[in-house]
Amino acid sequence: MDTVVNNKRVFWVSPHRPVGFVEILGKRDDVRLDMLENDNPPETAAAVLSAAHAYQTSSTRQELARHYHTNADFLKKTPNLLIVSTNGAGYDTVDVEACTGRGVLVVNQSGGNAESVAEHVLGMMLMLIKRVVECDRALRAGTLTSRAAFTGNEAFGKTIGIIGLGNVGRRVAALCGGLFRMEVLAYDPYLGAEEMRARGAAKVELDDLLRRADFVSINCPLTDETRMMIGARQFALMQPSAYFITTARGFIHDEAALEQALREKKLAGAGLDVWEKEPPPADHPLMRYDNVIVTPHTAGVTTEARIRMGQFAAEQMLDALDGRPAKRIINPQVWPDYARRFERAFGFAPEQ
């Protein structure tokens, strides 16, 4: 059967395009690619949105214009939309419940940046416990009086508590358990104890993890369940010698509660890669502390991860459009509705 040219419509919003995505999909005669801009007037975008079958979207909520977030209002403008694919592991810009209600499949690129993010966790952990940033600032300011004033500790043999034992969390577990012979605890209500042992961690409840860990690493997605799950009560459970590290998403922890815990010296320090507002303002209260290391959501921003994520995104998009099983589905419960809509659009049923 002859290929139907451009019968599968895919769009993205510039500059939120995975590395290599256009180059890979552009080789297909049956795929039409459209690009929109954040500031396109509605009449310019309308034709693309109304015809689109698939949307490759940003995972970063504050870099993508609100009218391009995949919510109920957006879905009214995209009656033919079948697939929403995020550029990263996060899906903050997508209302998954609304998509499920409209029969739209949501996929992400989980695992593509796991190595980069896990290495960032270890980097923050080592800089905190060895007090690298504090020493750097003192030397540059000319305020260093004694090396002993910056006595650090070893990571070897300490305890790490990982919240979320998915692709990133399991890699953090492997690195900490292997390199530093750390005791690895994990909280993940979606995994059983046996599976968590296979991933290198002991299953514990959240409160137990917080009480026992020398380092707490947040590696779970932002969902209704995890939003503000770490607040004043949770920080109060942690040891005064413990460090809090997050490379997951803003809004999982309460920034004001963390600042209070640091101000009252109830924590030894923190490593923060994600924020409620990104990038955070320079006068953010958490920026005042020398024992807080900050980065602007760059844990997964490496050359290797960007290439890998782009390949994941392109291959998964083509799999979905060709009716082959997608590997990283966020809302599997949508399948019956999605499959019916897909078959109406393309004339054949997708494989689950």
From the list 211, 278, 284, 315, the catalytic residue is 278
- As a whole number of angstroms, the distance between CA 45 and CA 38 comes to 10
Catalytic one of 32, 199, 297, 306? 297
Instruction: State the SS3 of the chain.
Output: CCCCCCCEEEEEEECCCCCCHHHHHCCCCCEEEEEEECCCCHHHHHHHHHHCCEEEECCCCCCCCHHHCECHHHHHCCCCCCEEEECCCCCCCECHHHHHHCCCEEECCCCCCHHHHHHHHHHHHHHHHCCHHHHHHHHHHCCCCCHHHHCCCCCCCCEEEEECCCHHHHHHHHHHHHHCCCEEEEECCCCCHHHHHHCCCEECCHHHHHHHCCEEEECCCCCCCCCCCECHHHHHHCCCCCEEEECCCCCCECHHHHHHHHHCCCCCEEEECCCCCCCCCCCCHHHHCCCEEECCCCCCCCHHHHHHHHHHHHHHHHHHHCCCCCCCECCHHHHHHHHHHHHHHHCCCCCC
Active-site residue, from 16, 61, 199, 249: 249
Residue 115 — left, alpha, or beta (φ > 0 → left; ψ -120 to 50 → alpha)?
alpha
User: How far is it, in rounded angstroms, from Cα 338 to Cα 101?
Assistant: 10
Q: Is 278 a catalytic residue?
A: yes
Could you confirm whether 297 is annotated as catalytic?
yes
CA 200 – CA 196 distance, rounded (Å): 6
Domains plus CATH for the chain? 8-111+303-346 (3.40.50.720), 114-294 (3.40.50.720)
- Tell me the average confidence (pLDDT) per consecutive run of 10 residues in the chain, 352 residues long: 71 94 96 94 90 95 92 97 95 96 97 97 98 95 93 97 98 98 98 98 98 98 95 98 97 98 98 96 96 97 96 98 96 98 97 92
Question: Which amino acid, residue 183?
Answer: E
157: left (phi over 0), alpha (psi -120 to 50) or beta: left
306 is catalytic: no
